[in-house]
Amino acid sequence: MILWRNVLSDEGRKIAKRAEKAEDAGDYVQARELYLEASAKFRGAADISEDFRELGILRTFENNMKINAQRLEKDCMPQALQLKKKETEDTSSDDVALHLKGTGVREQVIEAVLKIAIEISGEGREGHAIGTAFIVGDEANVMLKSRQLVLNPFEGHSKDKRLVTEPENWGNIKEFAQLDGVFVIAGDGTVEAAGRYITVDTGMVKIPRGFGTRHSSVAAITSVTHALGVVVSQSGGVIRIFKDGKIVASIKP
């Protein structure tokens, strides 16, 4: 009985952490479902607990999870469901190509970036889901409005080793996707930098509530440059394309 109670309680805590991550990533639908699942686990543990003090703690956890689910349903779910409906519309790389006008980005370059993003979304790195972002085009302005967080791993390498249009380079690019910051890619497909921190004020853009700093930073940099932004969400793996500070397309692998 004690063992089973501990199992339920531990499962509840793990699910609650997943719910928090989903909420931080703006996936309110999934977060609500996970909060309710965690609440059920804590309730199950409380039902078989014989320790009065522990029972009170478990009931508190159960109620907190319910409150979180209700909060999301009231404050965030209508907008989240609307966004989710929009994102379920099929978006292909052909559709994304329509947004290249004025960016100086070649079609084969954005196609390659999206293929890499889809692989990162599906594979992660070393068994873990990761999020990352690519800023493509108008590289001179992007570099001026960002700074290096870590040593640039692409500095000093020949151009042919930095082209996203060459599949043999994708392994290195996916490896460096684990770094904090964004990739900066020229319109011709040359990776100029990885681990780049965007310094543009995110307060100038408005994106759907719930997205994290990665999405807001990419929205901001695309609002003041002619670049396109491609963001891989760590939670859910949805790929969103930004232009002029707005989400213009989404791909759910």
Note the pLDDT tens digit of each residue in 133-173: 999 999 999 999 999 988 999 999 999 999 999 999 999 99
Residue 20 has pLDDT above 80, yes or no: yes
Residue 38 has pLDDT above 90, yes or no: no
Residue 143 confidence (pLDDT)? 97
Residue 128 confidence (pLDDT)? 76
C-alpha torsion 175→122→133→170, nearest 10: 40
CATH (residue range 2-82)? 1.20.58
Q: In the chain, which residues fall in CATH 3.40.1700.10?
A: 91-251
User: Residue 71's pLDDT band (boundaries 50, 70, 90)?
Assistant: confident
Q: Mean of the per-residue pLDDT values for the chain? A: 83
CA 31 to chain centroid: 14
Highest mean pLDDT among 55-59, 174-178, 184-188: 184-188
Length of the chain: 253
CA–CA distance, 167 with 249 (Å, rounded to integer):
24
Residue 115 confidence (pLDDT)? 92
Residue 4 confidence (pLDDT)? 47
Residue 30 has pLDDT above 90, yes or no: no
| Structure token digits, residue 125 | 């790195």
Span 91-251 CATH architecture: 3-Layer(aba) Sandwich (3.40)
CA–CA distance, 63 with 106 (Å, rounded to integer):
53
- pLDDT per position as a tens digit, 120-139: 988 877 667 888 999 999 99
Dmax over Cα atoms in the chain, in whole Å?
68
Residue 162 confidence (pLDDT)? 96
Non-local (6+) Cβ contacts of 183 within 8 A are: 132, 133, 134, 135, 173, 176, 177, 191, 193, 194, 196
| Structure token digits, residue 129 | 């889901």
Highest mean pLDDT among 68-77, 107-116, 206-215: 107-116
pTM flag (> 0.75): no
Residue 85 has pLDDT above 50, yes or no: no
Q: In the chain, which residues fall in CATH 1.20.58?
A: 2-82
User: From the CB of residue 150, how many other CB atoms can be counted at a distance below 10 Å?
Assistant: 14
